[in-house]
């Protein structure tokens, strides 16, 4: 039963992720800055959907979770 629930969770996340990508939902500025280094390292900014996200400044790591949502 746990395997089925895990598969359903992964499937739902994948589906929601595809919907978000297709509609061009952008990252908020705090998350865009927080993730800039690994998005660049992974080549994620080369995807067309990355054009929807504008950064607010320079790449930076937040001191805590709430700092991401500045």
Q: Residue 29: how many CB atoms within 10 A of its CB?
A: 15
Residue 35 CA to residue 52 CA, distance in Å, equals 15
Q: Which of 62, 66, 51, 24 is nearest to 39 (CA)?
A: 51
Residue 56 has pLDDT above 70, yes or no: no
What count of residues does the chain have? Answer: 70
Residue 46 CA to residue 6 CA, distance in Å, equals 31
| Percent of the chain at pLDDT exceeding 90 | 3
- Tokens representing 45 are 């900014």
Could you tell me the pLDDT band of residue 69, with boundaries at 50, 70 and 90?
Answer: low
More confident residue, 4 or 47: 4
* Residue pLDDT, tens place only, 5-34: 988 998 888 888 788 777 777 777 777 777
């Amino acid at each position: 039963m746990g395997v089925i629930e895990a598969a359903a969770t992964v499937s739902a996340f994948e589906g929601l992720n595809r919907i978000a990508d297709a509609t061009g939902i952008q990252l908020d500025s705090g998350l865009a800055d927080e993730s800039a280094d690994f998005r660049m390292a992974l080549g994620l900014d080369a995807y067309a959907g990355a054009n929807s996200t504008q950064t607010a400044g320079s790449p930076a790591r937040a001191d805590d979770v709430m700092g991401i949502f500045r």
